[in-house]
């Protein structure tokens, strides 16, 4: 080989060797990068948190509870205080056997004439078709009253139609008499009326037996108009009206008239009743006048009008002493205060009036008084169950229906179309049970007023439901046993009273929380495994790439060795050529 050719070959081999070395460096850098990436993935694997399966005991807690009658109470919170007491909260639970619960669904029929029906049974609005009506009772019979304006009517046991009308003031006073008027209770007016008579003036202008005659004629107006038949003086003289006297006022000759003012009559009766001492003075004066007329053989005295006993006990009478006594008594009587008599008479009248006041009377017999205040419940429909109930049972049912409606509205909301009910007999217990329907559900299920059927309308019924009520922050003291477990709780009421209950311990698993935790674990586990798979897949790719680079690096190493050997050979050739050249020219 020539010198030039050797040198060219050497240069070529040197360039190839440099390229191989450079490529090897690049491969080593790539393998280093892959190694770093792989290390990062392994670091991620080491840093990943392995999901842990939830332990059942982590979702189990100890519950303290106590019983208070039918209530079961579970303590939910215990907060200790500095004085040794606790603030206790607890959940009170009981079973409400009369709660409104879902009752499934049923088909509803609606027609324009009968409204909503289930099969052939018409639904009734809650509280509807139960009618209050006034009643009266006669001889153990109850009669329903039908109202016509202000009047009521009914048919009695004899089949007679009767009408009851309000007892007005005029009707009542027509039965019990006129109402006493305070203005009529004034004896001064009565005295004034008497003083305007000629007979009264004759007393003053006359003397002797004539004066006595006129005195007797005036005194009689105060003696006999209250209907009595006899009077007795203080000294035991009794004067009795004879049958022949009839109702004549006076025993004297001019006393045949029986006409009198009824108001004066009431006052005269009140005089004997309310002022007995003064009335007795009148009796004494009247009998003394009769005795005087007897003793003087007064021809005006009608002796066949009366009888007199006990005159042997009387003292001799003198007109001169009786006259001033007569004047004094007239003045005294005129000044008497009859307000108490008025109030007493008016109260007596008022008691009779009150029997009628606010009540009703038979339109044909105003003395028959009826109290129209009692109401009872009636049902006028065709429902088999409702027709079988008594009035008292209907009232109870009405109250129950109102309660049912309130419970339904509270739980399911107010219905614009009302709530309905149908009573169904339980085939096992034979009891009638209510089934409830929401008018809105039924109304919205129909498109028109013709016969339509909807197969699914929700119903509700009476059933059992657990009711919870949380009581918070009650003051209590806790008693523990030697293990630290609470065994008794004592509540302190606001009034200072205390009540102790025995505590029972139970272990309760929170299944819902445990299931949620288990679901989360399965989810986290799946994520973890998928992430492991993703990282392992990436590492496998890196390892495959590194394997390829390693193979390429080995190829380059082999090629580098071959080039190095060939360079060595070419170097020797060049060296020989140089040596031989220098020897040639040396």
Dist CA 560 CA 22 (whole Å): 11
| Tokens 């109304």, residue located | 443
CA 246 from chain centre, in angstroms, equals 72
Cβ contact 283:275 at 8 Å: no
Going 84 to 85 to 87 to 91, the CA torsion angle's sign is: positive
Render 332-384 in DSSP notation, one character per residue.
HHHT---HHHHHHHHHHHHHHHHHHTTSEEETTEEEEEE----EEEEE-S--H
Q: Which two tokens stand for residue 331?
A: 């003045």
Give the helix/strand (H/E) hosting 64.
strand 60-68
Dist CA 262 CA 563 (whole Å): 167
Give the Å distances, CA to CA, from 129 to 126, 133, 436. Answer: 9, 12, 16
The pLDDT score that the predictor gives to residue 366 is 94
Residue-wise pLDDT tens for the chain (586 aa)? 556 676 777 777 777 778 877 877 888 888 888 788 878 877 877 878 888 888 876 777 778 888 877 678 888 888 888 888 888 888 887 777 778 888 888 878 777 677 788 877 888 888 777 888 899 988 888 899 999 999 999 998 888 999 999 999 999 999 999 998 887 777 666 666 667 767 778 888 889 999 999 888 888 877 776 677 889 999 999 999 886 555 566 788 755 545 545 555 566 677 788 888 999 999 999 999 999 999 999 988 888 888 999 988 888 889 999 999 998 988 888 888 888 878 888 999 999 999 999 999 999 999 999 999 988 888 888 888 888 888 888 889 888 888 888 888 888 888 888 899 989 888 888 888 898 888 888 877 655 455 555 557 888 888 887 777 888 888 888 888 888 788 888 888 888 888 888 888 877 777 787 788 888 888 888 888 888 888 888 888 888 887 887 787 788 788 778 887 877 777 777 777 777 766 655 5
CA 113 from chain centre, in angstroms, equals 36
The pLDDT score that the predictor gives to residue 493 is 84
The pLDDT score that the predictor gives to residue 347 is 94
Give me the residue spans of the domains in the chain. Answer: 3-54+516-585, 98-133+380-466, 137-178+350-377, 186-337
Give the predicted TM-score (pTM) of the model. 0.46
Dist CA 298 CA 300 (whole Å): 6
The pLDDT score that the predictor gives to residue 246 is 56
The pLDDT score that the predictor gives to residue 558 is 86
Dist CA 581 CA 328 (whole Å): 200
The pLDDT score that the predictor gives to residue 172 is 94
> Is residue 247 classed exposed, middle or buried when 0-12, 13-18 and 19+ CB atoms within 10 A define those classes?
exposed
Q: Work out the angle at residue 225's Cα, subtended by the Cα atoms of residues 222 and 229, and round it to the nearest 5 degrees.
A: 105
């Amino acid at each position: 080989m020539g010198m030039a050719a050797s040198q060219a070959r050497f240069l070529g081999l040197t360039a190839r060797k440099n390229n191989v070395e450079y490529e090897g460096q690049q491969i080593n850098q790539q393998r280093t990068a892959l190694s770093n990436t792989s290390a990062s993935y392994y670091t991620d694997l080491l840093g990943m948190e392995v999901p842990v399966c939830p332990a059942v005991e982590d979702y189990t807690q100890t519950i303290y509870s106590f019983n208070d009658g039918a209530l079961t109470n579970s303590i939910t919170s215990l907060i200790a205080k500095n004085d040794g007491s606790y603030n206790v909260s607890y959940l009170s639970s009981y079973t409400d056997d009369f709660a409104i619960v879902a009752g499934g669904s049923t088909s509803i029929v609606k027609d324009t004439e009968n409204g909503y029906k289930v099969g052939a049974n018409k639904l009734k609005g809650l509280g509807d078709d139960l009618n209050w009506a006034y009643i009266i009772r006669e001889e153990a019979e109850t009669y329903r009253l039908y109202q016509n304006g202000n009047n009521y009517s009914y048919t009695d046991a004899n089949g007679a139609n009767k009408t009851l009308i309000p007892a007005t003031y005029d009707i009542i006073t027509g039965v019990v008499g006129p109402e006493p008027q305070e203005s009529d209770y004034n004896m001064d007016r009565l005295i004034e009326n008497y003083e305007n008579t000629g007979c009264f003036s004759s007393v003053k202008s006359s003397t002797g037996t004539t004066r006595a005659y006129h005195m007797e004629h005036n005194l009689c107006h105060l003696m006999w108009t209250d209907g009595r038949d006899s009077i007795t003086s203080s000294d035991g003289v009794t004067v009795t009206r004879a049958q022949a006297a009839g109702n004549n006022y006076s025993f004297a000759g001019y006393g045949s008239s029986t006409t009198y003012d009824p108001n004066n009559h009431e006052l005269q009766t009140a005089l004997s009743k309310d002022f007995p001492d003064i009335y007795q003075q009148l009796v004494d004066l009247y009998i003394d006048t009769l005795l005087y007329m007897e003793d003087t053989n007064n021809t005006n005295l009608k002796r066949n009008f009366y009888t007199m006993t006990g005159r042997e006990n009387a003292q001799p009478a003198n007109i001169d002493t009786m006259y001033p006594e007569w004047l004094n008594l007239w003045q005294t009587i005129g000044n008497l205060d009859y307000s108490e008599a008025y109030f007493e008479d008016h109260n007596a009248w008022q008691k009779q009036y009150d029997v009628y006041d606010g009540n009703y009377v038979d339109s044909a017999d105003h003395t028959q008084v009826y109290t129209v205040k009692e109401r009872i419940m009636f049902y006028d429909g065709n429902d088999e169950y409702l027709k079988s109930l008594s009035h008292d049972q209907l009232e109870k049912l009405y109250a129950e229906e109102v309660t049912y409606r309130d419970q339904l509205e509270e739980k399911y909301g107010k219905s614009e179309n009302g709530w309905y009910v149908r009573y169904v007999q339980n085939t096992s217990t034979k009891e009638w049970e209510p089934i409830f329907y929401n008018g809105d559900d039924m109304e919205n299920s129909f498109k028109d007023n013709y016969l339509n059927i909807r197969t699914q309308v929700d119903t509700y019924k009476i059933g059992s439901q657990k009711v919870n009520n949380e009581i918070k922050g009650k003051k209590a003291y806790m008693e523990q046993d030697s293990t630290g477990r609470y065994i008794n709780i004592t509540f302190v009421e606001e009034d200072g009273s205390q009540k102790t209950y025995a505590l029972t311990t139970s272990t309760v698993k929170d299944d819902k929380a445990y299931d949620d935790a288990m679901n989360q674990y399965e989810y986290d586990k799946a994520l973890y495994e998928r992430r492991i798979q993703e990282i392992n897949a990436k590492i496998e790719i890196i390892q495959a790439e590194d394997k390829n680079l390693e193979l390429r690096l080995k190829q380059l190493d082999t090629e580098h060795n071959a080039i190095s050997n060939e360079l060595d050979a070419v170097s020797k050739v060049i060296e020989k050529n140089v040596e031989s050249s220098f020897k040639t020219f040396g």
